[in-house]
Amino acid sequence: EPLLLAEHAPVAVTPNRAAGARLLLEKHGCDFLIMDDGFQSARIHIDYALVVVDARYGVGNGHVIPGGPLRADIVDQLVFTSALLKMGEGLAADAVVRQAARAGRPIFEAR
């Protein structure tokens, strides 16, 4: 996946996310960074946090690792979220969309 992304933008793959972010900012002068699992990086200041949910698959079974695909409970993570982006068409993301709306987060949709 990083190799595919690197065809379009600078990419850093490192166990130290803060060092990777610093490298991208210093070497490439990036205006913003897109991070996978960005909430897991407490040492990086987050200006805007977008949670992306696939409308066909939602958040899987809704359970946290090792019982499911989530690193943390989605409702707890919505506290740190600026907005939610629902990708595609389907009903699987509807529960998360409702939770984000209840948390007062803007909801965006894309195809």
Domain ranges of the chain: 1-34, 48-111
What type of residue is 97?
A: V
User: Is the overall model pTM greater than 0.85, yes or no?
Assistant: no
User: In whole angstroms, what separates CA 72 from the centre of its chain?
Assistant: 12
- The answer to whether the beta carbons of residues 83 and 60 sit under 8 Å apart is no
pLDDT at 82: 96
Model confidence band, residue 46 (pLDDT cutoffs 50, 70, 90) = confident
Tokens of 80: 């740190």
pLDDT at 16 over 80: yes
- The pLDDT value recorded for residue 74 is 87
